[in-house]
Amino acid sequence: MAMNAVARLDAEPPAHPIAHIVEAGLSAVEARMQDACKSDVSILNDASHHILSAGGKRVRPRLVLLSYLACGGAAVDSVISLAAALELVHTASVVHDDINDHGVVRRGKPSVNAIWGRTFALLTGDFLFTKVYELMAPHHDMNVILAEATVALVEGETLQAQAVKEQRFTRQVYMDIIARKTASLFSAGGLMGARAANANDRVAEALGRYGFNIGLAFQIVDDILDLTADEAQLGKTAGLDLKQGRGIGSINSGAAPDPVTLIKAKALNSNSVAEGKLQAKMLIDSAIGELDVLSDSPAKDELVALARYIVERDH
């Protein structure tokens, strides 16, 4: 399988045992996801393994693992399903997103929609959502957290589609959308990792806020990259967010159905990108500040590094 983006961050042999533990955990998460999506219905099996094997940054499962370890968790096996389920929620949402947005490239590969068509892409997304439910069914205590975050994600996607349709993309609407569609899931990741390590409420809530803030920053950076990066860097149809009249560029440019290049030029000439970058950096500082509740540890250092990576990445 292709190296994912975060793994490439430390292309050097891992210097610390923590890096070994996290990489081993992420491999176990991949295996758990692959295993969860097996089906004798070949289209569902093939389409879900297609999107899984395309990789992705795997920021969400990394967040679960690191939150767990930084809160003193010592049995990484116990959070593999949580991390896998969290990434599968995200995966389900991108499969459905590519239907609604006519996205043809995802993670450097043709989208499920592009290969299998709309009907099967819809059913593959449903399959992934229901597999989250199945995977989590035996893990009683985390279901409330993940279910609420999953509902929020769908609500955020809906607010986004509504804002595009109604051409009503104010900064407040934008922040509400990304809080629900992205930050909620990141918040759940931090919270679940901490709870699984039996962290107290104060620590668990701090990890939830850490996740929430890096989630907001992640989406803002994603939207900026959609404006400034090329398709090869992004591994998905570039300018799609703009073509759909959403994303950070839409705040100042409005959601008019201009050609992508025109909107892009307009957004780049405005202050959107500079403002977005500044805001993302402030959110990351705030997230790192939440980590003060934790004792120093290599896992805590990795959470700081993860937050920094989110604003420094170029794809």
What residues make contact with a second copy under the rule CB under 8 A? 39-41, 43-44, 96, 99-100, 118-120, 122-123, 125-127, 129-134, 136-138, 140, 143-144, 146-148, 150-151, 153-155, 157-159, 161-162
CB atoms within 10 A of CB 179: 18
Round to whole Å and give the CA distance between 313 and 301.
18
Tell me whether residue 6 or residue 37 sits nearer to a second copy (CB atom).
37
- State the minimum distance, in angstroms, from the CB of residue 97 to a second copy: 10
- Opening angle at CA 54, ends 48 and 59, nearest 5: 100
- Nearest CB to a second copy, comparing residues 85 and 293: 85
Rounded to 10 degrees, the C-alpha dihedral 28/31/33/36 comes to: -120
Which residue, 111 or 150, has its beta carbon nearer to a second copy? 150
Structural contact between residues 279 and 220, judged by C-beta atoms closer than 8 angstroms: yes
Query: What is the nearest approach in angstroms of a second copy to the Cβ of residue 161?
Result: 5
CB of 44 to a second copy, least distance (A): 5
Q: Output the CA–CA distances (angstroms, integers) from residue 124 to 76, 117, 154, in the order listed.
A: 29, 10, 16
Residue type, 96: H
CB closer to a second copy out of 4 and 124: 124
Q: Which whole-number Å values give the CA distances from 190 to 49, 109, 146, 174, 186, in the listed order?
A: 26, 29, 11, 23, 6
Report, in Å, the least distance between residue 275 CB and a second copy. 26
Complex with a second copy: residue 96 or 106, whichever CB lies closer:
96
Question: Measuring CA to CA, how many Å separate 62 from each of 7, 57, 83, 155?
Answer: 10, 9, 8, 24
Q: Which is nearer to a second copy, 24 or 144 (CB)?
A: 144
Nearest to a second copy of 86, 99 (CB atom): 99
**Least distance (Å) from a second copy to the CB of residue 120?**
7
- Please state the closest distance from residue 15 (CB atom) to a second copy, in A: 40
Residue 179 tokens, joined:
């809080």
Separation between Cα atoms, residue 154 and residue 137, nearest integer Å: 20
Instruction: State the nearest-atom distance from the C-beta of 93 to a second copy, in Å.
Output: 8
